[in-house]
Amino acid sequence: MSYEASRQLEFDRVLELLAQRCQYSVAAERAREIGPTGDASRVAYLLAVTREAVTLLTTYPSFTVGGVRDIRPLVERARRGSLLSAGDLRDALDTIQAARELRRTFFKIPDANELYPNLSEFVEAIADLAGLEADLGRTVGPRGEILDTASERLAEIRREVRIAHRRLLDRLNRMLTDAAYAGAIQDAIVTMREGRYVIPVRADRRAQIPGVVHATSASGQTLFVEPMAVVELNNRWRELQMAEEHEIEAILRARSDQIAAAADDLDQTVEAVAAIDLALAKARLAFSMRAVEPILVEASGPGAPGGHPRHRIDLRQARHPLLDPDTVVPIDVRIGETYRILVVTGPNTGGKTVALKTVGLLTLMAQTGLFIPAADGSALSVFSAVYADIGDEQSIEQSLSTFSAHVTKIIAMLRSADADSLVLLDEIGAGTDPQEGSALARAIISALLERGVIAMVTTHYSELKAFAYVTEGTENASVEFDLRNLSPTYRLLLGVAGQSNALAIAERLGMPREVIEAARSYLSPGTERADELLTEIRRRRAEAEKALAAARDQQRAAERARRQAEEALREAEQARAAAREDALAELAEELREARDLLRRLRARAEAPATPITPAERPASQDVEELGEELRRAQERVRQAARRRRPRTAPAEPLRVGDMVEIPSLGMEGEIVGFADGGEEADVQVGAFKVRQPVSALRRVRSAPAPRQATRVTVPAAPSVDQEINLLGRRVAEAQEELETYLDAAARASLPWVRIVHGKGTGALRAAVHEMLQRHPLVERFETAEPNAGGDGVTVAFLKG
C-alpha cells in the first residue's frame, strides 16, 4: 500500500484512535504500526478476528487483558546477562499472572474454541510458565520487595539480623539509662551515623564513655560515639546485613537467569496478549464509530459494458470516521458495476474532498481488518494498491508549484496503477490554465480507463461533466448545495453532475444585477442550458425521493395497520368463542338444575308420605310440561354444540392421538389423555399441556398408526430469533427495525427478547428505552446482567 496515500487520507489518525482504545502498551504500539494489506484472504481473516472480538465484548463487555506490562526490555537485558532488579521481577510476575488469568477466563466461556476460533489461537499462544511464576511468586512481594521465602539461606540470615539488631539496641538503651553515664550523655536517644548505631555524648565528658567517634554536632558540643561495649555487636549486625545483600544478589542472579531461559516464551506471551488486546481495541473502535463489518466482494464479471470485471465499491450511509458521527452527513457511493470512474463536481466546501477521503479511508480500514462506519450491506473489494492525490501541496525542496506537485504524483500513479488499484484524485487538472487543465484532466481519466482502475475524482471543470456523460465507464456525481441558505448539504448525488453556482451565490450575496446579467451574457448558451437542465434534474430527483419516502411511510403504516387488524380479528374471534363457551356452560348448568328439580318433584309425587310444600305444588302439577320443556332445552344445547363443530367433523368420539384445534386459543395440538369422566381432554400444544372441555375441541385429523411420531404445529407463530442486533444503526433505522421485530416476536409468542444496541454515546440505548417504555407489546424491560452484555444489551419482556 502507498504510504503517501495513507498519509494524505490521514489514516494515521484512525490508527491513533485505535491505539487509544488499547489497554496494553504493546498493543497500542502495534496499533500505530499496522496497515492495510492487499491480500484478500488476509483481509478476510483480519475481519473475522474483529468480528469475534465484537461478539465477545457484546456478550462479555468486562473481558480484558488485565494488568500485563511491557516486559520486553527487561527480558532483553536478562538475555544479555544483566542482573534484574526486584522491581523487574515484579513486572515479569504481574505479566505472567495476568496472561494466565486471561487464558483461564477465556476458556471458561462455554464453547470458546467454536465461537472464537481465531482468538483461541492467540490465547493458546500464551506460554505455560507455571514454574517460573511459582519461583517469582516466592521471591518478590507485591511492593517489589524480596521475600524471606526467596531462599532458606536468606530466611536464616534475616532471622540472625533481627536478633543481632535487637541485642545491639538493648545494650545501647541500657547504657542510656545507666546512672554511671548520666552526666556524659547529651540526649537519651540512640541514633545512626555512617551506618552504625551511636549515642550523643557531651564533648567535655568524652572520657566517661570510651568508644569510636563517628561525627560531631554543628556546635561541636556533642559527639556521636559508638561505645566500645557495642562495637562487636555493631560489627556483627553489619556483617549479617552484608550477607543478606550478597544472598539477595545471588537470588536476583538466579531469577534473571530463569527469565533469560524463558525469554522466547515470554516474548511469545507478550505478543499473544498484544494481539488479543488489539483485536478487542478494534471492537471498541467499532462500537464508538457505530461501525459494521464490510462485505468483501470479488465480482465474476462487469455488471455492464463500462463496469469493472472484479472490483466493487458499494458504500451505504458511509460516514467519515474522523468526523462526529452524530453530525456528519452519510453518503452512498457505488462504483464498479456499471462504471469504473466516478466524477464528482460541485462548489467549494460542498463536501467533495470529504466524500473522496471517506471512500479512501473506509477502504484502508477494511483492508486493515477494521469495521467501517456505514450501514449494513456495505461492500468493498480488496485492492492491491491505493493511490491518492489530495490537497494543495507544494514541494519546496524541489521548487515545484502546486500544479507541478500534482502532476508529479499523477505521473507516478500512471506508472504503477493497474486493474487492481483504487485511485483517488482531488481537483484533477487544477492549478493551471482552465482550458489546458480541463483537457489534461480528460486525458488522465482516459488513461485511467485504459488501465482498468477503479477511480473517484473531483473537479470544477464543466467539460468533465459532459465527458463523463458520454464516455463509457464513467459516471457523474455531485455534492448538493442549498441556494436558499447558501450552504452545502454535503449529500452526494450519484448520476447527477454538479454546478458551481458561482453566479447564483454572488447574486444572493448582493452582487449588482447588471453585473450578474453581464456575466451570464458571457456564458455560452450551451452552458446556461446545461445548468437549467441540471437544476430541473435535481428538482425532479428531490420530488422522486420525497415521494419514495412518503410511499415507504405509507407502506409501513399499512403494514402496522394490517398487523393490528389481524391481531384485533384474532382477539375478537377468541372473545366470541369464549362468550359462546360461557353461554353454553350457563345453559348446561340451568339444564342440570332443572333435571334435579324434576327428579325431586317426581320422587315426591311417587311418595305420598312426603308432603309437597305450597311453593312446590304448582310445579308438581306441571311435571309433564316441565319434562317436555327440559327435553326441548336439551335439544337446543345439542344443536348449539353441533353448530360449533365443522360439518366435516367425524361422528366418532375423540381419542388419544387425535390432532385437534382449540378455537379459543387459536392453536392446534395432540390429545394425550382424558379427565373428569371423559368430559375434558389434556392437549399437548408445543411444550405446553392444556386441559379443555371435549365439547370445545375440533378434530383436525385422526390419530396416526400406533408408535408413529406426531408433529404438533402452532399456527401464526413464525420463527423469530430471540435477539436483535442494532449496532451501527442510526436512531431512525433502529426504531423502524425494532418496531418490526417486536411485532414478529409477539406473534411468535416469545416471552422476552434481547436487544443489542451497544454502549457508545448512549444515544441509541436511550432511543431504544424510550420506544420500549411506550410500546403496547412490551410489559417491562431491564438492562442485561454484566456477564450477558451489561449496558450494551436491553432485555424486553413481552405481554402475554
Binding residue ranges for ATP: 346-353
Q: Are the C-beta atoms of 59 and 788 separated by less than 8 Å?
A: yes
Buried b (16+ CB within 10 A) or exposed e, 305-322: ebbbebbbbbbbbbbbbb
What is the C-alpha to C-alpha distance for residues 351 and 490, in angstroms, rounded to an integer? Answer: 5
C-alpha grid cell, residue 781:
424491560
The pair phi, psi for residue 385, each rounded to 5°, is -155, 145
Q: Are the C-beta atoms of 252 and 242 separated by less than 8 Å?
A: no
Which of 82, 87, 27, 32 lies closest to 263, judged by CA?
A: 82
Handedness of CA 652, 657, 659, 665 (dihedral sign): positive
What is the C-alpha to C-alpha distance for residues 483 and 169, in angstroms, rounded to an integer? Answer: 93
* CA dihedral angle for residue 468, residue 471, residue 475, residue 478, rounded to 10 degrees: 10
Other beta carbons within 10 Å of 444: 21
C-alpha grid cell, residue 670:
395432540
Which of 698, 10, 730 lies closest to 364, judged by CA?
A: 10
Q: Are the C-beta atoms of 91 and 74 separated by less than 8 Å?
A: yes
Other beta carbons within 10 Å of 111: 7
Which of 698, 706, 764 lies closest to 730, judged by CA?
A: 764
What is the C-alpha to C-alpha distance for residues 406 and 426, in angstroms, rounded to an integer? Answer: 9
Considering only CA atoms, give the Rg of the chain: 44
What is the C-alpha to C-alpha distance for residues 271 and 650, in angstroms, rounded to an integer? Answer: 75
Tell me which residue has cell 489546458. Answer: 436
C-alpha grid cell, residue 760:
457508545
Q: Are the C-beta atoms of 287 and 372 separated by less than 8 Å?
A: no
Q: Are strands 196-202 and 191-193 parallel, antiparallel or unpaired?
A: antiparallel
Q: Are the C-beta atoms of 276 and 22 separated by less than 8 Å?
A: no
- Which amino acid type is present at position 655? R
Other beta carbons within 10 Å of 733: 15
Beta pairing partners, 689: 684
Bin 393: left if φ > 0, else alpha if -120 < ψ < 50, else beta: beta
Q: How many Cα atoms sit within 13 Å of 461 on the Cβ side?
A: 27
What is the C-alpha to C-alpha distance for residues 216 and 735, in angstroms, rounded to an integer? Answer: 84
What is the DSSP secondary-structure string of 229-250? Answer: HHHHHHHHHHHHHHHHHHHHHH
Which of 341, 353, 141, 328 lies closest to 248, judged by CA?
A: 141
Handedness of CA 520, 521, 524, 529 (dihedral sign): positive
What is the C-alpha to C-alpha distance for residues 463 and 497, in angstroms, rounded to an integer? Answer: 11
What is the C-alpha to C-alpha distance for residues 517 and 556, in angstroms, rounded to an integer? Answer: 49
* CA dihedral angle for residue 389, residue 393, residue 399, residue 404, rounded to 10 degrees: 40
Which of 478, 444, 664, 436 lies closest to 572, judged by CA?
A: 664
Known binding residues are: 346-353
Alpha helix (H) residue ranges in 338-433: 352-366, 402-416
Which of 313, 350, 305 lies closest to 493, judged by CA?
A: 350
DSSP conformation class of 53: H
The pair phi, psi for residue 750, each rounded to 5°, is -75, 135
